[in-house]
Structure 1
């Protein structure tokens, strides 16, 4: 296959995802989930001003998009293009349209119809208490991987790109002011957005001119360790604040800024039209590269389908949904936003090089790809297309990556607190938000620094993320399928993707178990076995629940739409 122009990939990919949003999401909303604008959402029913807060759908989209995106839709594609650009491109585009959007919208709908409960709690209602307990184990381990690994990724970026320090931390001040402007002073959202975005980009320019570095050693910690400690302190504080104070406005304004960043990258691609130098199918793989099947489907998780999305959707997003019909925009279009980021990462990591030899030099091993390659390749495209200096281009993309990762990290800590509290309820031990947050941060911090003061332990169990994440996505779709079967709704749009993702994730888990056994990595071997057994058990319980629905009377369509639950205001 001749080397394509990157513009062709961009146009086809964007067109597919937008078609999915305007056509397929409408089918899901009307025929499968039957979203109802009159349904009284949990944010209204349980409005407490802390976690349950009715939120403008554009603001909530910003929260969901930036929380689920993180660095994963950059890292996954940046690694997976080692098999060639075509498999990564197909999995991202098809996965976004038919799986990720359906999964995110479905998780939001499922939580709405169950008082904003998390996916772990939902598993208790629909597949039984044993399934719930095992589900919570999988969820907690997944969140632990995300929080620890993203702390390491962010610290590495802040050390490698010191120009991103000022905009990264300055964004918090902007977010706090945006929150006050929107909720306390009721200022115009469009005006607040414009001022906030201008302030963020001014911080990027300022950061590029005044890079910030930490001392080589402080209290026995190198710069990476110092940043990790600061990040955990920030995440703990952020997870305790009411969502409208920091989480919502930070995610919203970051989401707008990050979408503008994607616009810059795609705009530069439109002007520069760089050639994709990477092969469509790479037949010259390095020796350490694993088989493309099933590893492609777990290497690229976020950006095609991700179980972490269901955790966010049912953990924080569902508690802020103003109207049930907003689930289409927040959930499905949130997945489209992440798909666009993954597509941008594919373009940056395959067309951001001058020659195929240069590309092969970078991709000399399976683990060579990642955020730095995205920043380098994307920076070259932005410089070529828009004439923005290479240093500033790199700062823009590095800041985008850091802000994505940071929003995911502190949302992850908040979600870990929820899980800890749910486990406490099962054990009949009351755990308040402060104790739950302390447990989450202490466990994550202990793992992160378990291998030394540089925080390298944060990546210790990250190799399990791909399979765990996709297994969780399949299990989430299993719960959605049970709900649809109980309501006698169309279920094949959920069941078919569930089976595919489940087969790939179980296959990948078995491959990894074999690899860990051969390498005598007993920690990862043991954890992977635990996750596989727990996931399989939940799967069996889900299948039993699906079969049982055949003997049950269908649930009424208006079961949750009693008169006192309908909205009385516009």
Structure 2
């Protein structure tokens, strides 16, 4: 199978989703109003509520939701073969992720930019809100802890990426000043930022920086994790225009350039997909594809974390309600394109089936390393770029996206603690600094608690990230569906994905429960039980909330 065929079919499907399906959803289901006064204007404060150009906001939203997950998940899932992963990414992006992300922005904007957790209490009920807050907290813990471990591993394994990754922060700070203080035009600033970023990428292999194996009694990996959380804490407290928006925007441009390079290499090289279409010879210990495929690939098909970003930061910056389609749905398409690139790199970026099998020796193998090595192989052979430079380019891409997600994730976790301070009347918790310290402390506890003293084993929580993430997506779709029922609008476009996710999530949790018990992994067993109980309660809340909403509408109709 030619990789070009998969590339063309995947991109064509996602383009059709944006130009046709999202337009239908915008006009007939969400019914966007260009004259609606968005919270960004109503509550403008220059810190969190900031009316933002839709292209800049798209960059923030897209890079915040993308992270490393649409690379890691698909690059692991191809162990079952390229066809299941390809179909779930393409159709999941069109009918699941786009509607979910777009809808979360719309629902939040229509409710004073409340987070989807707080909104649940208003739309569904206080009991559902309590469940939602537990799931949100777990997802943010896992996102921040896992991505810190991923970035630290990349810094340790690819020293040529250290200068570009940290230099990109300085570039973003300068970009923010040029846009908001010097008022330079966006095209000019974009060119300056991209040139600076790629100059750093070119410089990286010449000045590799390697963290010592041990620093003050801590491993190099542990030091990187601590540095990353220190940075994320500071970034989460800064006004969004200073670092978050410009960094996300320039990273969004970087991704598209990176995708163009990778896709261009595929078109010129025309590599064959060496991985099997459906793999019947999976390594021993590999779990069943159904239902694990649908939670292994979360980001890139549908992800509950996106609902947190959509309602936590994006809705507070939306200039016009009609921008929600471009920012939300097209943001999901951008992530789908990244997931598609990960699939192609991890299946066509190897010289032979034997080379591919050598990478995929067990479930969980592959991941970022398969993406970097496979992508670098295609770029080197297709475009002639030195393989070390190509590997640096892809490593920086993965690390920057994971970093921007950490920035946003920690900010969102700070919001959660502040909301808890409001709910439980704890004034000290409502302050930004204490809430940030609580967020960082809990993430570090999980990263080192699951991964050991050096944090290298932190990826042990990845299997539960997918299930918890999809449960969160189901909760977000529940809120949107109930809103649609109360507005007397068609609900099937959100109800069908909601039901599908709940079934797959509960089935995956039950399967993982047995695995964790048999392996004696009681840490993950405990977390799995907590998430499973939450999933069952969510399913019950779904049925009850929809029944109440339909009854209310029927009574109003009779009246």
TM interval, short-chain normalised: over 0.9
Matched, 1:226 2:236: no
Distance in 1 between residues matched to 2:305 and 2:187, nearest whole Å: 30
Secondary structure in 2 matching 1:489: coil
Report matched runs for 1:369-448 at 5 Å.
369-430=366-427, 431-448=430-447
Structure 1 residue 366 displacement after superposition: 1.0
CA contact (8 A) 1:487 1:554 kept: no
Structure 1 residue 457 displacement after superposition: 5.5
Distance in 2 between residues matched to 1:511 and 1:68, nearest whole Å: 27
TM-score where L is the length of structure 2:
0.97
CA contact (8 A) 2:360 2:366 kept: yes
Distance in 1 between residues matched to 2:177 and 2:279, nearest whole Å: 51
Match of 2:470 in 1: 470
Distance in 2 between residues matched to 1:123 and 1:355, nearest whole Å: 50
Secondary structure in 1 matching 2:218: coil
Matched, 1:531 2:526: no
User: What is the CA deviation profile of residues 386-441 of structure 1, one whole-angstrom value per residue up to 9, with x for unaligned ones?
Assistant: 10000000000000000010001111100100111111211111221111101000
Match of 1:176 in 2: 173
User: What is the CA deviation profile of residues 261-307 of structure 1, one whole-angstrom value per residue up to 9, with x for unaligned ones?
Assistant: 01100011011110001110111111111111000000011000111
Match of 2:195 in 1: 198
Secondary structure in 1 matching 2:208: coil
Structure 2 unaligned residues grouped into runs of 5+:
none
Report matched runs for 1:1-400 at 5 Å.
4-400=1-397
CA contact (8 A) 1:220 1:453 kept: no
Distance in 2 between residues matched to 1:357 and 1:521, nearest whole Å: 32
User: Against the structure 1 CA distance between its residues 361 and 127, is the aligned structure 2 distance closer, same or farther, given a 3 Å change threshold?
Assistant: same
User: What is the CA deviation profile of residues 63-121 of structure 1, one whole-angstrom value per residue up to 9, with x for unaligned ones?
Assistant: 11111111110011111101110000000000001110000000000000110011110
Distance in 1 between residues matched to 2:92 and 2:308, nearest whole Å: 18
Match of 2:497 in 1: 497
Match of 1:479 in 2: 479
Aligned residues: 553
Distance in 2 between residues matched to 1:389 and 1:368, nearest whole Å: 25
Structure 1 unaligned residues grouped into runs of 5+:
557-570
CA contact (8 A) 1:487 1:555 kept: no
Distance in 2 between residues matched to 1:18 and 1:126, nearest whole Å: 33
Match of 2:461 in 1: 461
Distance in 2 between residues matched to 1:456 and 1:127, nearest whole Å: 40
Secondary structure in 2 matching 1:196: helix
Distance in 2 between residues matched to 1:551 and 1:493, nearest whole Å: 20
Structure 1 residue 551 displacement after superposition: 2.8
User: Against the structure 1 CA distance between its residues 457 and 372, is the aligned structure 2 distance closer, same or farther, given a 3 Å change threshold?
Assistant: closer
Structure 1 residue 554 displacement after superposition: 8.8
| Deviation larger for 359-368 or 157-166 | 359-368
CA contact (8 A) 1:50 1:243 kept: yes
Distance in 1 between residues matched to 2:426 and 2:551, nearest whole Å: 36
User: What is the CA deviation profile of residues 125-146 of structure 1, one whole-angstrom value per residue up to 9, with x for unaligned ones?
Assistant: 1111111011101000110001
Structure 1 residue 454 displacement after superposition: 1.2
| Deviation larger for 107-116 or 524-533 | 524-533
Q: CA RMSD for the aligned pairs?
A: 1.3
Structure 1 residue 520 displacement after superposition: 2.6
Secondary structure in 2 matching 1:102: helix
CA contact (8 A) 1:123 1:132 kept: yes
Structure 1 residue 553 displacement after superposition: 4.5
CA contact (8 A) 2:296 2:463 kept: no
Structure 1 residue 368 displacement after superposition: 1.2
Distance in 1 between residues matched to 2:501 and 2:78, nearest whole Å: 20
Distance in 2 between residues matched to 1:118 and 1:152, nearest whole Å: 27
Distance in 1 between residues matched to 2:425 and 2:126, nearest whole Å: 14
User: What is the CA deviation profile of residues 160-212 of structure 1, one whole-angstrom value per residue up to 9, with x for unaligned ones?
Assistant: 11111111011111101111111111110000001100000000001121111
TM-score where L is the length of structure 1:
0.95
Distance in 2 between residues matched to 1:61 and 1:444, nearest whole Å: 27
Secondary structure in 2 matching 1:40: coil
CA contact (8 A) 1:135 1:535 kept: no
